[in-house]
Structure 1
Amino acid sequence: MLISIITVTYNDVQGLERTIKSVQEQTATNYEHILIDGGSTDGSRALIEQHQDRFSYWSSEPDNGIYHAMNKGIAVARGDYLLFLNGGDHFKDESSLSILVGGIDENQQVELVYGNIEVVADHTGIKKYPAHLTLDYLIKDSLPHPATLIRKTCFNSHLYDTSLEIVADWKFFLLGIYKQSFNYTYVDDTISVFYYDGISSLQHVKISKERRDVVKQYFPDKLRLHYFYYPGNLKQIFNDVKKKVNSLMKRIKTRLTHG
């Protein structure tokens, strides 16, 4: 069994060095490392060339965004399972890949194997995931791609949706589990370290919009749950309702005043 570790990166040479080092330190040996760089100009290409003998495939050229780059990695992957460990992120320790691979069933029938991640942000901590993934949970959250093995056959019917800028991996897991019935296994261990780079409020709005459009198309009865999870949307709805109520009250008052 072969694992394809796919790293997508762009202009983050220090983070990329951290990622490469953590892959090379793994005690597991049944993996290939694929490096897809978006044409970096910060020295990343020189770093890649320095380690090129450790990659089964690498490229450094402009692309059309992170999901286009991830799809390029999928196209050349030879592994039975894929894991996306993007530039900057890294495995928790040298046994992480072995621990995650241990969740694969004997006949390699499980399609998703996922563990926990350590999130490095203003308040660093471990993010744990549930062993049972309900639709309501996946509407609000997603699986961690730096700590999830995906059987390559899961990509036979479709790749990541490149029309989405931010949430295509969320859409893939959501539809895979609840439309295509992917089976999954949870490994209760911290597998990878994810660096949260401070998503701006503008990106939060974009995330909300992209997710809302997906939920509206595939799970319209869950749209209310989406709005409650994103207070900005709920606030907008409240303001719209408030305006309509005020307008209605104004009309009623006018009629009462003028008979």
Structure 2
Amino acid sequence: MIFQKQLQNCPKISVVTPSFNQSKYIEKTIQSVLLQEYQNIEYIIMDGGSSDGSVDIIKKYESRLKYWQSQSDKGQADAISQGFKLATGDIFAWINSDDFYCQNSFQKVAKTFIKYPSLGLIYGDSFLVNEQAELTRALIASPMNYKQWLYGTSSVFQGSVFFSRFAYESVCGIDSTLEYAMEYKLFFNIAKQFQTVHIPEFLACFRQQPRQKSATISHIGLSEFKNILLELENLNTESWSYRSTTHFLRLLRRLKYIKNGWFLNRSQYSKIFQKVTTF
């Protein structure tokens, strides 16, 4: 009820950026938050003690930050968790320091939460970009439901996800012991208890670069994913029944993509990309 009353006005969006030695990318991340056409933003940057010039970039914007620090932490998940402990917003999100938001994303998110105040989580579409922030392809999120999360077939991209503070606290926040699959466990727990909605809009850009975790520790992510399902649902991802169900759901997802025309050609989504990434 309290959350619903807060949403009657302009809900505060709290964004956390975890970072470590990302001076090559972090300024674009910061600008994509601060240049949103949305007034009620609270931005927190948790730097892990960078020595590459990142701190100098952060200091350029410190007057517009709720809080920032540069000191050793226990990893990405710990930095995000500590950042959210400082946050006072109605809506939470985090954006990694090599990714960035699209134009007007926060307005779209706030309008959706105002329209559906009981929502736990909303998610949009994303663009995949290269190291130079040039468009590679569109990442269209698939409809998310409990079963799709359970079988790892829900295409939801972390940078385009926003969730209510109430939902985050209800599931006891992010698991700071995880190195890779912290978003999967958090979103899974929220989706299990709360309604989720897909916004058919591009909300963020996911950058591919050599040092990102998907390129360096994906094996850890796979192990964590298996352990999460064993812990939460007693599911063995190596079993025949699990694998066959996963393949079937992926086929259904692909057929739905084709039916709904979600496979845009490059010229179509290039125009959209140019429009929503120009501040």
Tell me which interval the TM-score lies in, with the shorter structure as reference length. 0.7 to 0.9
Residue 224 of structure 2 aligns to which amino acid in structure 1? E
Q: Note if 1:194 corresponds to 2:209.
A: no
AA partner of residue 50 (structure 2): S
Structure number, greater radius of gyration: 1
5+ residue gaps, structure 2, are: 1-10, 248-279
Q: Which moved more, 1:184-193 or 1:218-227?
A: 218-227
* Bigger shift: residues 39-48 or 154-163: 154-163
Q: 1:146 aligns with which of 156, 159, 163?
A: 159
Query: Aligned residue for 2:31?
Result: 21
Post-superposition offset of 1:154: 2.0
Distance 1:182 1:193 in 2: 26
Q: Does 1:128 align with 2:118?
A: no
What is the alpha-carbon distance in structure 2 between the residues aligned to residue 42 and residue 227 of structure 1?
Answer: 44
In 1, distance between residues paired with 2:168 and 2:66? Answer: 20
Q: Does residue 110 of structure 2 align to residue 101 of structure 1? A: yes
CA distance, structure 2, for counterparts of residue 201 and residue 20 of structure 1: 23
TM-score with structure 1 setting the length: 0.79
How many percent of aligned residue pairs carry the same amino acid?
23
| Cα pair 1:212 1:226 within 8 Å, conserved | no
Q: What secondary structure sits across from 1:164 in the alignment?
A: coil
Distance 2:79 2:15 in 1: 13
User: Paired residue for 1:155, among 163, 168, 181?
Assistant: 168
Q: Distance in 2 between matches of 1:4 and 1:204?
A: 28
Please name the residue that 2:12 is paired with.
2
Which residue does 1:34 correspond to in 2?
44
- Does 2:128 match 1:119? yes
C-alpha change, 1:222 and 1:201, in structure 2 (3 Å) is: same
> Partner of 1:105: helix, strand, or coil?
helix
Q: Give the match for residue 179 of structure 2.
A: 165
Answering whether residue 197 of structure 2 is matched by residue 185 of structure 1, we say yes
Which deviations, in whole Å up to 9, do the C-alpha atoms of 1:197-243 show, x marking residues without a partner?
Answer: 3556762322111111111222234633665669xxxxxxxxxxxxx
Q: Is the CA contact 2:120–2:191 (under 8 Å) kept in the aligned structure 1?
A: no
Q: Kindly provide the CA deviation profile for residues 3-31 of structure 1, in whole angstroms up to 9, marking residues without a partner as x.
A: 01111111011211011111222111121
1:83 to 2:97 alignment: no
| 8 A Cα contact 1:142 1:170, kept in partner | no
Q: 5+ residue gaps in structure 1?
A: 231-259
Contact 1:91 1:192 in 2 (8 A): yes
- Residues 31-67 of structure 1: CA deviation (Å, up to 9, x unaligned): 1111111110011111111210010111111100000
Question: Following the alignment from structure 2 to structure 1, what is the Cα–Cα distance between the partners of residues 214 and 114?
Answer: 40
Deviation at 1:164, TM superposition (A): 1.5
Q: Is the 8 A contact 2:180 2:218 kept in 1?
A: no
CA distance in 2, matches of 1:76, 1:3: 13
Residues 128 and 134 (structure 1), Cα distance of their counterparts in 2 relative to 1, 3 Å cut: farther
Give the equivalent residue in structure 1 for 2:189. 175
Instruction: Give secondary structure in 2 for the equivalent of 1:217.
Output: helix
Query: Does residue 63 of the first structure (1) align with residue 77 of the second (2)?
Result: no
Deviation at 1:144, TM superposition (A): 2.4
Letter in 1 for 2:207: Y
Taking structure 1 as reference, are residues 138 and 221 closer, same or farther at Cα in structure 2, changes over 3 Å only? closer
Cα distance in structure 1, aligned partners of 2:200 and 2:115: 19
Alpha-carbon distance, 1:196 to partner: 2.7
Aligned letter for 1:149? Answer: F
The equivalent of 1:237 in structure 2 is none
Aligned length: 227
